[in-house]
Protein backbone atom coordinates (compact mmCIF):
# COMPACT_ATOMS: atom_id res chain seq x y z
CA UNK A 1 0.00 0.00 0.00
CA UNK A 2 1.29 3.46 -0.90
CA UNK A 3 1.99 5.79 2.01
CA UNK A 4 -0.04 8.58 0.41
CA UNK A 5 -2.77 7.72 -2.08
CA UNK A 6 -4.55 10.02 -4.48
CA UNK A 7 -6.83 9.59 -7.48
CA UNK A 8 -4.55 10.44 -10.43
CA UNK A 9 -7.40 11.94 -12.48
CA UNK A 10 -7.41 13.78 -14.77
CA UNK A 11 -10.29 15.87 -13.56
CA UNK A 12 -11.63 17.87 -16.51
CA UNK A 13 -13.91 20.65 -15.31
CA UNK A 14 -15.35 23.82 -16.86
CA UNK A 15 -14.34 27.24 -15.64
CA UNK A 16 -16.35 28.24 -12.59
CA UNK A 17 -16.86 24.68 -11.39
CA UNK A 18 -16.16 23.43 -7.89
CA UNK A 19 -13.85 20.46 -7.68
CA UNK A 20 -12.72 18.33 -4.74
CA UNK A 21 -9.64 16.17 -4.37
CA UNK A 22 -9.17 13.51 -1.73
CA UNK A 23 -6.14 11.82 -0.30
CA UNK A 24 -5.49 9.11 2.30
CA UNK A 25 -2.30 8.42 4.20
CA UNK A 26 -1.15 5.30 6.00
CA UNK A 27 1.21 6.57 8.71
CA UNK A 28 -0.89 7.51 11.73
CA UNK A 29 2.17 9.20 13.30
CA UNK A 30 2.30 11.81 10.54
CA UNK A 31 2.47 15.28 11.97
CA UNK A 32 2.11 17.79 9.16
CA UNK A 33 0.00 17.93 6.05
CA UNK A 34 0.12 20.00 2.90
CA UNK A 35 -1.17 20.45 -0.60
CA UNK A 36 1.50 21.31 -3.15
CA UNK A 37 0.86 22.38 -6.72
CA UNK A 38 3.06 21.32 -9.63
CA UNK A 39 2.75 22.89 -13.07
CA UNK A 40 3.94 20.99 -16.12
CA UNK A 41 7.75 20.78 -16.20
CA UNK A 42 8.09 22.90 -13.05
CA UNK A 43 8.95 22.28 -9.45
CA UNK A 44 6.34 21.60 -6.75
CA UNK A 45 5.26 24.67 -4.81
CA UNK A 46 3.38 24.88 -1.56
CA UNK A 47 -0.30 25.67 -2.08
CA UNK A 48 -1.39 25.47 1.54
CA UNK A 49 -0.85 23.70 4.81
CA UNK A 50 -3.70 21.59 6.17
CA UNK A 51 -4.95 21.74 9.74
CA UNK A 52 -7.43 19.62 11.68
CA UNK A 53 -9.66 22.64 12.14
CA UNK A 54 -9.81 23.13 8.39
CA UNK A 55 -8.41 26.17 6.67
CA UNK A 56 -9.30 28.37 3.76
CA UNK A 57 -7.23 30.51 1.43
CA UNK A 58 -9.40 32.39 -1.01
CA UNK A 59 -11.06 29.85 -3.30
CA UNK A 60 -9.17 26.95 -1.71
CA UNK A 61 -10.32 25.02 1.35
CA UNK A 62 -8.37 22.18 2.93
CA UNK A 63 -9.58 19.69 5.52
CA UNK A 64 -7.84 17.05 7.60
CA UNK A 65 -9.49 14.12 9.35
CA UNK A 66 -6.85 12.47 11.52
CA UNK A 67 -9.15 9.67 12.68
CA UNK A 68 -9.82 8.59 9.08
CA UNK A 69 -6.32 9.62 7.88
CA UNK A 70 -7.95 11.59 5.12
CA UNK A 71 -7.10 14.95 3.57
CA UNK A 72 -9.17 16.96 1.13
CA UNK A 73 -8.83 20.03 -1.05
CA UNK A 74 -11.79 21.97 -2.42
CA UNK A 75 -11.38 24.49 -5.21
CA UNK A 76 -14.30 26.81 -5.84
CA UNK A 77 -14.90 28.90 -8.96
CA UNK A 78 -12.15 27.13 -10.94
CA UNK A 79 -9.96 29.28 -13.16
CA UNK A 80 -8.00 28.22 -16.24
CA UNK A 81 -4.86 29.02 -14.24
CA UNK A 82 -5.78 26.33 -11.69
CA UNK A 83 -4.87 23.67 -14.26
CA UNK A 84 -1.99 21.76 -12.69
CA UNK A 85 -1.18 18.63 -10.71
CA UNK A 86 -2.10 18.79 -7.02
CA UNK A 87 0.13 16.80 -4.69
CA UNK A 88 -1.04 15.60 -1.31
CA UNK A 89 1.94 15.69 1.07
CA UNK A 90 2.41 14.25 4.54
CA UNK A 91 5.25 15.18 6.86
CA UNK A 92 7.17 13.26 9.50
CA UNK A 93 9.07 15.74 11.64
CA UNK A 94 10.90 12.93 13.44
CA UNK A 95 12.32 11.66 10.19
CA UNK A 96 12.59 15.20 8.79
CA UNK A 97 10.88 14.05 5.62
CA UNK A 98 7.87 14.67 3.41
CA UNK A 99 6.07 11.90 1.58
CA UNK A 100 4.33 12.89 -1.62
CA UNK A 101 1.29 11.37 -3.24
CA UNK A 102 1.51 10.76 -6.96
CA UNK A 103 -0.71 13.77 -7.64
CA UNK A 104 -4.13 14.52 -9.09
CA UNK A 105 -4.20 16.28 -12.42
CA UNK A 106 -6.72 19.06 -12.91
CA UNK A 107 -7.58 20.50 -16.29
CA UNK A 108 -9.91 23.50 -16.26
CA UNK A 109 -11.52 24.10 -19.62
CA UNK A 110 -12.98 27.31 -21.07
CA UNK B 1 17.12 36.12 -6.23
CA UNK B 2 16.71 32.38 -6.67
CA UNK B 3 16.16 30.64 -3.33
CA UNK B 4 17.10 27.10 -4.42
CA UNK B 5 19.09 26.76 -7.62
CA UNK B 6 20.25 23.71 -9.53
CA UNK B 7 22.68 23.25 -12.39
CA UNK B 8 22.43 22.11 -15.04
CA UNK B 9 18.76 22.45 -15.93
CA UNK B 10 19.06 19.86 -18.70
CA UNK B 11 21.55 17.03 -18.95
CA UNK B 12 21.71 14.62 -21.88
CA UNK B 13 24.36 11.94 -21.71
CA UNK B 14 25.29 8.46 -22.82
CA UNK B 15 24.88 5.29 -20.79
CA UNK B 16 27.93 4.50 -18.70
CA UNK B 17 29.01 8.11 -18.19
CA UNK B 18 29.49 9.80 -14.80
CA UNK B 19 27.74 13.10 -14.16
CA UNK B 20 27.09 15.55 -11.34
CA UNK B 21 24.20 17.85 -10.51
CA UNK B 22 24.74 20.80 -8.21
CA UNK B 23 22.33 22.46 -5.80
CA UNK B 24 22.66 25.63 -3.78
CA UNK B 25 20.23 27.38 -1.45
CA UNK B 26 20.54 30.93 -0.14
CA UNK B 27 17.76 30.63 2.44
CA UNK B 28 20.03 29.78 5.36
CA UNK B 29 18.33 26.39 5.70
CA UNK B 30 19.87 23.50 7.62
CA UNK B 31 18.38 20.57 5.75
CA UNK B 32 18.60 19.75 2.05
CA UNK B 33 17.14 16.93 -0.02
CA UNK B 34 17.36 15.19 -3.36
CA UNK B 35 14.21 13.82 -4.95
CA UNK B 36 13.69 11.84 -8.15
CA UNK B 37 10.55 12.30 -10.25
CA UNK B 38 10.14 9.58 -12.83
CA UNK B 39 8.04 9.41 -15.98
CA UNK B 40 4.96 8.53 -13.93
CA UNK B 41 5.44 11.82 -12.04
CA UNK B 42 5.94 10.10 -8.69
CA UNK B 43 8.22 12.25 -6.50
CA UNK B 44 10.41 10.08 -4.31
CA UNK B 45 13.00 11.12 -1.76
CA UNK B 46 16.54 9.87 -2.30
CA UNK B 47 18.74 11.60 0.28
CA UNK B 48 18.63 14.21 2.98
CA UNK B 49 21.42 16.13 4.69
CA UNK B 50 21.20 18.19 7.86
CA UNK B 51 24.17 20.48 8.50
CA UNK B 52 26.33 18.39 6.17
CA UNK B 53 25.33 15.14 7.88
CA UNK B 54 23.47 12.43 5.96
CA UNK B 55 20.18 11.74 7.73
CA UNK B 56 18.08 10.00 5.08
CA UNK B 57 19.42 7.48 2.60
CA UNK B 58 16.60 5.68 0.86
CA UNK B 59 17.08 2.54 -1.16
CA UNK B 60 19.11 4.08 -3.93
CA UNK B 61 21.82 2.33 -5.99
CA UNK B 62 25.39 2.90 -4.80
CA UNK B 63 26.03 4.64 -8.12
CA UNK B 64 24.35 7.68 -6.58
CA UNK B 65 26.48 9.59 -4.11
CA UNK B 66 25.45 12.85 -2.49
CA UNK B 67 28.03 15.30 -1.21
CA UNK B 68 27.47 18.32 1.00
CA UNK B 69 30.53 20.59 1.21
CA UNK B 70 28.61 23.01 3.42
CA UNK B 71 25.03 23.42 4.56
CA UNK B 72 24.16 25.64 1.60
CA UNK B 73 25.19 23.08 -1.01
CA UNK B 74 24.16 19.52 -1.78
CA UNK B 75 25.51 17.92 -4.93
CA UNK B 76 24.57 14.60 -6.49
CA UNK B 77 27.09 12.50 -8.36
CA UNK B 78 25.94 9.59 -10.49
CA UNK B 79 28.34 6.92 -11.75
CA UNK B 80 27.82 4.57 -14.67
CA UNK B 81 24.55 6.12 -15.78
CA UNK B 82 21.78 3.75 -16.87
CA UNK B 83 18.70 4.28 -19.03
CA UNK B 84 16.49 3.98 -15.94
CA UNK B 85 18.19 6.98 -14.37
CA UNK B 86 16.38 9.24 -16.84
CA UNK B 87 14.12 11.43 -14.72
CA UNK B 88 13.81 14.90 -13.26
CA UNK B 89 15.90 15.40 -10.12
CA UNK B 90 14.76 18.04 -7.66
CA UNK B 91 16.75 19.56 -4.87
CA UNK B 92 14.85 20.99 -1.88
CA UNK B 93 15.60 22.62 1.44
CA UNK B 94 13.90 23.41 4.71
CA UNK B 95 14.88 25.49 7.68
CA UNK B 96 12.12 24.19 9.90
CA UNK B 97 12.08 20.90 11.77
CA UNK B 98 12.17 18.81 8.61
CA UNK B 99 8.80 17.22 7.78
CA UNK B 100 7.47 20.72 7.22
CA UNK B 101 7.44 23.11 4.30
CA UNK B 102 10.19 22.49 1.76
CA UNK B 103 11.36 24.81 -1.00
CA UNK B 104 12.24 23.18 -4.29
CA UNK B 105 14.77 23.99 -6.96
CA UNK B 106 13.68 24.14 -10.62
CA UNK B 107 14.77 20.58 -11.33
CA UNK B 108 17.38 18.94 -13.54
CA UNK B 109 15.98 16.91 -16.42
CA UNK B 110 18.38 14.02 -16.99
CA UNK B 111 18.14 11.99 -20.19
CA UNK B 112 20.35 8.95 -20.57
CA UNK B 113 20.69 7.67 -24.15
The model's pLDDT over B12-61, given as tens digits with 9 standing for 90+, comes to 999 999 999 999 999 999 899 999 998 877 899 999 998 888 888 888 89
Residue A79 burial by Cβ neighbours in a 10 Å radius (0-12, 13-18, 19+): exposed
Q: How far is B79 from chain A (nearest CA, A)?
A: 25
Chains A, B: CB pairs < 8 Å:
60
- Give the largest Cα separation in chain A, rounded: 44
Q: What is the pLDDT of residues A73-95, one digit of tens each?
A: 999 999 999 999 999 999 887 77
Separation between Cα atoms, residue B32 and residue B43, nearest integer Å: 15
Q: Which residues of B touch A96 (CB under 8 A)?
A: 31, 48, 50, 55-56, 94, 97-99
Separation between Cα atoms, residue A86 and residue A21, nearest integer Å: 8
DSSP state letter for A81: G
Query: With an 8 Å Cβ cutoff, is B39 touching chain A?
Result: no
Q: Residue B18: what pLDDT?
A: 97
User: Cis omega before residue B79 (within 30°)?
Assistant: no
Query: With an 8 Å Cβ cutoff, is A87 touching chain B?
Result: yes
Q: What is the pLDDT of residues B75-108, one digit of tens each?
A: 999 999 999 999 999 999 998 655 578 999 999 9
Of B44, B55, B106, the CB nearest to A96: B55
Of B98, B101, B109, the CB nearest to A46: B101
Amino acid sequence: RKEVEQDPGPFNVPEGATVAFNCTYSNSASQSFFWYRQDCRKEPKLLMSVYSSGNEDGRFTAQLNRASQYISLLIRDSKLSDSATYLCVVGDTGRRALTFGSGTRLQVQP
Amino acid sequence: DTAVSQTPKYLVTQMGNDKSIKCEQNLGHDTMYWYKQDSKKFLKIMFSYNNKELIINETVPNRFSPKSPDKAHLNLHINSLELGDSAVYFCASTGEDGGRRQFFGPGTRLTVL
